[in-house]
Amino acid sequence: MKINEISPLNNNFTEVLGGIALMPKTLYYRGKLPEKRLLTVGIVGARKATKYGLETAYRLSYDLAKRGVVVVSGLAFGIDAMSHRGALDAGGITLAVLASGVDEITPHSNSQLGAQILAHDGAILSEYPANTPPLRPYFLARNRLISGLSDAVIVVEANTKSGSLSTAAHAKNQGRAVFAVPNGVNSPMSEGCNLLIKRGAHLLTEANDLLEVLAPEKIAKIQVASKATTTEQKILKLIKSGVNDTEKIAENLKIPPADLAQTLTMMEFDDLIQALGDIWVVKK
């Protein structure tokens, strides 16, 4: 396991941290950082996210990564993990900032996701050296790095006590754009986002809302062909061939039904498939 150690100011991608308060003197990372500065967006939100929040985080990160945007998040449960997943499925680059040393991926249940980030030209980084445990104060400190590395921060879903609001506050103080995803006024998990919008954050419902502000030239780079990933294309082929219930699809792809369920949910969200009772059909 190779852990790299750099000064943020000595790297083309991380030198943007030179303009933030409490700039870390050293960054530790595993994997690969972008060789040059690319448009970078931090996507954060609730750990105990709703289906709406998870689907929105996935779609935003997927669409942004498809346009060459680097996605940064914290590898936590919920919105963070789904943001990394969307970027990976789009074939993009995603970076995870930990509140602990990078020698051990935390939380441990996201170790496989962390390994996939490293395997796809991404990086896991921290201001803390190896063997540093994920202590509570480190999480709030970590948030300034997520925003500091980003050109903008998107808060997908958050209550009013969410740490994601501290990331948004850091972003505003650092001169980064802040975007928030709206939701129903009766949803506790969206109170934080709705509050940010009231206080001047950009309202965001799709990737183009952000690109119109930061990179309008990227709006034209929309994939008009099939939206399906490689795995999704295999699923579509199976359904068309008559293998159309979750258990049989899982058996053919040799993956656990629980893991498959998330992909099927995303495909249904993208209008690629539809559930009819116990079976799936391809939407025309």
3-state helix, strand, coil split of the chain in percent (to 5) is 45, 15, 40
Distance between CA atoms of residues 148 and 93, nearest Å = 17
pTM of the model: 0.78
DSSP 48-73: S--HHHHHHHHHHHHHHHHTT-EEEE
* Residues 113 and 262 sit within 8 Å (Cβ to Cβ): no
pLDDT confidence of residue 95: 98
pLDDT attached to residue 118: 97
pLDDT at 119 over 90: yes
The full set of domains in the chain, from first to last, is 4-218 (3.40.50.450), 230-282 (1.10.10.10)
Alpha carbon distance 29, 25 (integer Å): 13
* DSSP β-ladder status, 27-31 and 123-126: antiparallel
pLDDT value at residue 96: 98
Tokens 């789009």 belong to residue:
90
| 191-198 helix and 164-173 helix, angle to the nearest 10 degrees | 20
Higher pLDDT, 274 or 85: 85
Q: What residues does 123 pair with on adjacent strands?
A: 31, 95
Does 57 or 282 have the greater pLDDT score?
57
pLDDT over 50 (residue 155):
yes
Closest among 52, 191, 172, 31 to 115, alpha carbons compared? 31
Residue 116 makes CB contacts below 8 A (sequence gap 6+) with: 88
- Count the neighbouring beta carbons within 10 Å of the beta carbon of residue 70: 25
Angle at 82 between CA 268 and CA 161, to 5 degrees: 120
For the chain, give the mean pLDDT.
91
Q: What is the pLDDT of residue 223?
A: 43
Q: 219: how many CB neighbours lie within 10 A of its CB? A: 12
Angstrom distance (rounded) from CA 25 to CA 126:
11
State residue 190's pLDDT score. Answer: 84
Looking at residues 44-48, what average pLDDT do you find?
94
Q: What pLDDT is attached to residue 222?
A: 43
Q: What percent of the chain has pLDDT over 70?
A: 96
pLDDT band with cut points at 50, 70 and 90 for residue 80: very high
Name the DSSP class of 42: E
Residue 221 clears pLDDT 60, i.e. is over it? no
Check if the beta carbon of residue 159 is closer than 8 Å to that of residue 192: yes
C-alpha distances out from residue 252 to 127, 273, 276, 279, Å: 43, 18, 20, 15
Bridge partners of residue 126, in order along the sequence: 28
